[in-house]
Amino acid sequence: MTLLSSFKSLRLEGVSRDFGVVNALRDLTLEIKRGEFVALLGPSGCGKSTALNCIAGLLPTTRGQIMLDDRRIDTLPTEDRGFGMVFQNYALFPHMTVRNNIGFGLKMRGIPKNEAAPRVEEAIRTVRLDTQAHKLPGQLSGGQQQRVAIARAIAIDPPLVLMDEPLSNLDAKLRLEMRQEIRRIHQSLGCITIYVTHDQDEALSLADRIVVLRDGAIRQVGAPEDLYARPAHLDVAEFMGFRNRINGRVQARDGNRVQLTVAGTTLDGVVQEALTGDTAIAAVRPDDMVPVAPDAHGIDTVVEAIEYRGRDFFGQARSKTGDELFFRSEQRLAPGAAVRLGAEPHRVLVYPGA
């Protein structure tokens, strides 16, 4: 019943989904190659789960088509697609043992017991649950349940594994462990993994390619490095951790380089998205914003709060014009102290102003 054991790619062609008058997903077009790990990233309500459910067949699409190589699959019912899915709440069958949960897909495919058993055992070993196989899901910890959910999804040898925020219910330490586990499992299977998350760290560390969604539409597609260093739009930048937004006016331009007038001083940066008018917004990561010498070029601010992060300090300050700025500091600065903040020009990304 598995569609194709040796397929090449999954293509989404103009996939849309409306809920009444709301366009939850607009014209999603994307090609994913075999072996790729793709993360759908975006804030809640951006349509990433809708996209995943459409691919899984749990939600019918309103327009567009989904192709696995040359076969159209969006018209097939969920049970005929043969994709593995890991749910946010795991959705383990509470009345079945771990082994039966994992073997359920093979059983539904009518695979004889003697053939299914070694495959189930292999899936159990892959997620390292050998000693828990006879237990019911309710007797397992969150991380173990998570691994059962993954094993259940991969036991059917799917061309596509869909994961819907699988780590959001785990504590921070376990999340890091499971992240590596998921990456390892993906590499050992060689299938396509589509991973939905709102956590950019997760997407950056796991994915080969990240698709950033907003209001149901694609904002940017790219490798993690690209997205991290060069977000194409201001909202993507904010989502990727550029917490400082500084309003300014364009003073001088030289190709990509631009100088902005900001809070009584100037700030050099790099244009990321074509500037449309006089005003512009500079986006800077807190880690790139640092105190500079009093005679150097920078924005004068007053420290409002400072917290210790272990290797350095994380500060919050306010400029004379009222802009809130986050910065990194080597020294503990007292709240109320005046500090001049600056950033390397190539770390300052400039977007058109509102």
Partner 1 sequence: MATPAIPLSTRLSARGLDGVTLLVLPAAIVLIALFVYPFGYGLWLSFRPKDGTLLGNYGKFFADPFLYDTIYTTLALAVPVTLMNLFLAVPVAFRVRLMRHQRLLTTILVLPITLGTVLVAEGMLNYFGPQGWFVRALTSTGLFNVSQIKLVHNYWGVFLSLLITGFPFTFLLTLSYVTGIDPGLEQAAATLGARAAERFRHIFLPLLVPGLAITFCLSFVQAYSVFPSAVLLGAPAGPTRVISIAAYQAAFEEYDYSMASAIAMIMGAVQLVVVVAVLAARNLFYRGPAAGAKG
Query: Is 90 a residue that touches partner 1 (CB under 8 A)?
Result: yes
Distance in Å, CB of 220 to partner 1, minimum: 29
Matching residue, tokens 């699959």: 73
Distance in Å, CB of 103 to partner 1, minimum: 10
Residue closer to partner 1 by CB (options 82, 342) is: 82
- Please tell me the total number of residues recorded for the chain in this structure: 354
Query: Is 85 a residue that touches partner 1 (CB under 8 A)?
Result: yes
Beta bridge partners of 246: 282
Matching residue, tokens 């790099």: 270
Q: Which residues contact 69 (CB under 8 A, 6 or more apart)?
A: 4, 7, 8, 9
# residues near partner 1 by CB under 8 A? 37
The token pair that represents 123 in the structure block:
């899936």
Q: Which amino acid is present at 229? A: A
Q: Which residues contact 202 (CB under 8 A, 6 or more apart)?
A: 39, 167, 175, 179, 195
Q: ∠ at Cα 29 (73, 89), nearest 5°? A: 65
Among 148, 145, 165, smallest CA distance to 87 is for: 165
Matching residue, tokens 């993954």: 150
Distance in Å, CB of 5 to partner 1, minimum: 15
Distance in Å, CB of 205 to partner 1, minimum: 23
Query: Is 22 a residue that touches partner 1 (CB under 8 A)?
Result: no
Query: Is 316 a residue that touches partner 1 (CB under 8 A)?
Result: no
Distance in Å, CB of 182 to partner 1, minimum: 17
Among 28, 153, 178, 210, binds partner 1 (CB under 8 A): 153
Among 57, 269, 291, 352, binds partner 1 (CB under 8 A): 57
Say if residues 28 and 16 touch (Cβ distance below 8 Å). yes
> Which x/- pattern over 210-229 shows residues binding partner 1 (rule: CB under 8 A)?
--------------------
Residue closer to partner 1 by CB (options 91, 217) is: 91
Query: Is 29 a residue that touches partner 1 (CB under 8 A)?
Result: no
CA separation for the pair 296, 140 (Å, rounded): 58
Among 91, 176, 189, 217, binds partner 1 (CB under 8 A): 91
Residue closer to partner 1 by CB (options 81, 347) is: 81
Write the DSSP symbol of residue 156: T
Residue closer to partner 1 by CB (options 166, 353) is: 166
Residue closer to partner 1 by CB (options 94, 322) is: 94
CA separation for the pair 240, 233 (Å, rounded): 11
Query: Is 109 a residue that touches partner 1 (CB under 8 A)?
Result: yes
Query: Is 88 a residue that touches partner 1 (CB under 8 A)?
Result: yes
CA separation for the pair 35, 45 (Å, rounded): 28
CA separation for the pair 126, 147 (Å, rounded): 9
Say if residues 301 and 338 touch (Cβ distance below 8 Å). yes
Distance in Å, CB of 175 to partner 1, minimum: 14
Query: Is 117 a residue that touches partner 1 (CB under 8 A)?
Result: no
The alpha helices in 36-112, defined as continuous H runs, are 48-56, 78-81, 98-108
Say if residues 207 and 177 touch (Cβ distance below 8 Å). no
> Which x/- pattern over 65-84 shows residues binding partner 1 (rule: CB under 8 A)?
------------xxxxxxxx
Footprint of partner 1 (CB under 8 A)? 1, 56-58, 77-85, 87-95, 104-105, 108-109, 136-138, 140, 142, 145, 152-153, 156, 162, 169
